Chains A and B, each alone.
Chain A
Amino acid sequence: MTQAREVSDFDAIVVGSGMTGGWAAKELTERGLRTLVLEAGRPITPERDYVEHKPPWELPFRGLGDRRSVAARQPMQSHSVSFDEWSHVFWTDDVDNPYSTPPDRPFYWFRARQVGGKSTIWGRQVYRWSDLDFEANLRDAVAIDWPIRYADIAPWYDHVERFIGVSGQAEGLAHLPDGPFLPPMALNCVEQHVRERIAARFGRDRVLTIGRVANLTAPHHGRAPCHYCGPCHRGCITRSYFSSVNATLPAARATGRLTLRPFSIVRSLVYDARKGRVTGVRMIDAKTKAERVYTGRLVFLCASALESARILLNSGLANSSGQVGRNIMDHIKWGGASGQFDGWTDRRVIGERPNGIYVPRFRNVSSRHPDFIRGYSFQGGAGRAGWQAALRAPGIGAALKQRLTQFGPWTMNFEGFGEMLPREENRATLHPTLVDAWGIPSLHIECQWSENELAIHRDMNVAAAELLEAAGAKDIQPSGSGPSTPGGTNHEMGTARMGRDPKTSVLNGWNQAWDVPNLFVTDGAAMTSSGCQNPSLTYMALTARACHYAVEQMKRGDL
């Protein structure tokens, strides 16, 4: 009967403790709300769970991964770029958490169930949107218009960036606004050369800059600067990159108003039809499988785009528009090129910079491309291959050992990240029979690229080769691969979009459900278009903005 004494009523309930759940927890508790955060997965203790400094020889397979276990339990999760023998524990078990797709249309749904969610394993690249993005749907007559513009979100970008700490170089580009950056990480010698050559050839039209990344280059709010060990996706004992475990959840905890409940899988929302409000959340204890209800005046869904849509669909709520689960977007990748550079043979890189270069979008900015609308950015970098390039090299004995210590030529690569258009037929629905290990109906996901994305993908190879050619690279190799699998960039979004009209959107301009005023959805589900920027910064800014609005409404008695 000890459970009966546990508090079950809160001012606010936040579903999910990751990128946006952490922000909701921080903003709501700091504004005085007693807030319950429900996290489906286990608790994370950095001193116990972070493994970024564990050397390969302490792992059973020295970094090659537990091939049999991965094949049996994580065949989908293992496609993520940040999945490895160290980090695999930060991804879900595909057997316990199944989903389906048409056999000929794979979709990668990467999921992280633990306190911190995917903020522990994210790529940390953060770029602001501009009105080039917020006005895009209206301009192109695609889907529906965003209900907000850059001016609405700009102060919240400031707010989020000041807290998380973003290192980067101000470039003064109107379509990729600068922020209050910490000192930029350094370009290496070849990247600096390529930046200068691209500037000489393309002027301000194409700019190579250092990535804007949520890794600290100076002490920041009690967190230490990056020490360049490299594999951030395995954790960071010095809290040098932003994650909810490293930053927002401690801030929320410091208010004394946070209750964080791990192993809490939300089945559905509890709705009072008479009041037209959600009154709480029905969850299942992941370990005991006991079901219980928590009540709250406000509910924030921050469970990730597809998971939040799944909760809405399983609740039968907020869907009078029929748009819940639709308009799935990701970013198309695997287009680009690489090339070699003569020279700098007496130079090498020391340390592992957890960041690369960035070339902001240049297509359809000041000119019009004939083959597609929207555009893409490039990420990438230069370096010299080490022992990995000699693993299959001919030779044995002392000569082979010598070869392993030598550096290869400098090579540089550009990899595109292209915008995906929202289309209603790219959708997730409740599977009629498939359930997860807790008996909760899972999703059937149908999603594929359209001709616009495929045209963008083709152009990536061409433009990347142009950049390398301008920089004087040799042996330029366009990417040989076809487009990535949808979902594979881990930027899934759009499944409960914001809009101006309740008939065509799920959320209003404050991430508030049109149908249920005390319900907010602030993760990637809210996105009305996808831009080509890495999206987490925008999710965080929207979350902080929505929290501010919700609390103001509450104070006025409207919620």
Chain B
Amino acid sequence: MERRELIQWLVATAGLPSLAFGRQIHRQPLRRSLSGHVERTLAVATERILPGAAEGNVGVFIDKMLADWHTAAERERFLAGLPELDTRCRARGGRDFVDGLEADQVAVVTALDDAVTALRADRGGAVANQHWFAMLKYLTVYGWCTSAAGMRALDLYPMAGRYDGCAPV
């Protein structure tokens, strides 16, 4: 199964008490229209968080992490939080996040980032990192920094092949 299909299925089944993988997936074709929207939302949101996220294939990485790394509880929290992008965007201009003006998208993502920052100050990193937007931002930033595009931009790839402990910045 393609990863993009899996994320679609995950979105479709978000909130179910337990998620089983495997053949079941193919019994959910009707839900695909829902998840296409989520996939587009993620593509735009990651780009607003970190311009160039797409060239780092961040969407594929997030899909893989949600499917095979995060716990069911973490996954559900993430997917349950994601519609907040639409809610907040509609409150600003009446449109879903993906169809919103860039300025509104940036404002929505900034507000969510500020909320996580406030949570971090109030209740500490462990609590803040549980927030669905903190998850999204972490996966976006980490995914880009470990991508070919990101590592080239950060001067981490290709390797220097030498050591200089006192090089000019």
Q: B-contacting residues of A (Cβ < 8 Å)?
A: 53, 55-57, 60-64, 66-68, 185-189, 191-192, 227-230, 344-353, 386-388, 390-392, 394-398, 400-401, 404-405, 407
Contact = CB atoms under 8 A, between A and B. Distances in A.
A407 B138 CA distance: 19
B51 A351 contact: no
Nearest to A228: B163
A191 B159 contact: no
**Which among A352, A387, A405 has the highest number of chain B CB atoms within 10 Å?**
A387
Interface stretch (B5-13, B27-35, B93-101, B150-158): B150-158
Contact of A185 (B48, B61, B163): B163
Contacts of A344: 166
B165 A60 contact: no
Given A394-B117, A398-B51, A347 B166 contact: yes
B131 to A, nearest CB: 11
B48 A401 contact: no
The 7 A-B pairs at the shortest CB distance, nearest first, are namely: A188-B165, A351-B163, A189-B166, A56-B146, A62-B146, A228-B163, A350-B164
B161 A228 contact: yes
A229 B141 CA distance: 23
Which of B143, B163, B165, B167 counts the most chain A CB atoms within 10 A? B165
A392 B129 contact: yes
24 contacts: A55-B157, A57-B148, A61-B65, A62-B142, A63-B146, A64-B65, A66-B68, A185-B163, A189-B166, A191-B165, A346-B168, A346-B169, A349-B163, A349-B166, A349-B167, A350-B160, A351-B162, A351-B163, A353-B163, A388-B145, A390-B141, A396-B113, A397-B51, A405-B153
B15 to A, nearest CB: 21
Nearest to A407: B169
A188 B166 CA distance: 6
Chain A CB within 10 Å, residue with most, of B61, B148, B163: B163
A348 B146 contact: no
Q: Which of B49, B106, B117, B164 has the most CB of A within 10 A?
A: B164
Contact of A68 (B69, B116, B169): B69
A404 B49 contact: no
Contacts of B157: 55
Given A60-B68, A345-B169, A396-B109, A227 B161 contact: yes
Given A61-B65, A353-B163, A404 B145 contact: yes
A64 B142 CA distance: 10
Contacts of A349: 163-167
Given A57-B146, A185-B163, A396-B137, 4 more contacts: A61-B64, A349-B165, A351-B159, A396-B113
Nearest to B52: A401
Given A56-B146, A57-B147, A397-B106, A228 B162 contact: yes
A396 B146 contact: no
Contacts of B51: 397-398, 401
A68 B138 CA distance: 19
A227 B162 CA distance: 6
Nearest to B166: A189
Interface in B16-47: none
B142 A350 contact: no
A548 B160 CA distance: 43
B165 A189 contact: yes
A164 B50 CA distance: 46
A396 B143 contact: no
A228 B159 contact: yes
Contact of B151 (A55, A396, A397): A55
Contacts of A227: 159, 161-162
Interface string B110-133: 100110110010000100110000
A178 B69 CA distance: 48
Contacts of A347: 166-169
Contacts of B68: 60-61, 66, 68
Contacts of A186: 163-165
Contacts of B50: 396-397, 400-401
Contacts of A353: 163, 165
A404 B57 CA distance: 18
A350 B163 contact: yes
A392 B125 CA distance: 9
Nearest to A349: B165
Contacts of A63: 146
A60 B63 CA distance: 11
A344 B164 CA distance: 14
B109 to A, nearest CB: 5
B94 to A, nearest CB: 23
Contact of A57 (B49, B52, B57): B57
A412 to B, nearest CB: 12
A62 B113 CA distance: 24
B135 to A, nearest CB: 11
B88 to A, nearest CB: 14
Candidate in A56, A390, A400 with the most chain B CB atoms within 10 angstroms: A56
B169 A351 contact: no
Contacts of A64: 65, 69, 142
Given A61-B69, A186-B163, A350-B160, A396 B168 contact: no
A9 B168 CA distance: 62
Contacts of B143: 62
Contacts of A62: 61, 142-143, 146-147
Contacts of B49: 396-397, 400
B60 to A, nearest CB: 10
B160 A404 contact: no
A185 B165 CA distance: 10
Nearest to B117: A394
Contact of B142 (A55, A228, A352, A391): A391
Nearest to A351: B163
Nearest to A64: B69
A405 B164 contact: no
B68 to A, nearest CB: 7
Nearest to A381: B165
B169 A348 contact: yes
B113 A394 contact: yes
A65 B28 CA distance: 30
Contacts of A187: 165
A415 to B, nearest CB: 19
B166 A392 contact: no
Contacts of A352: 159, 163
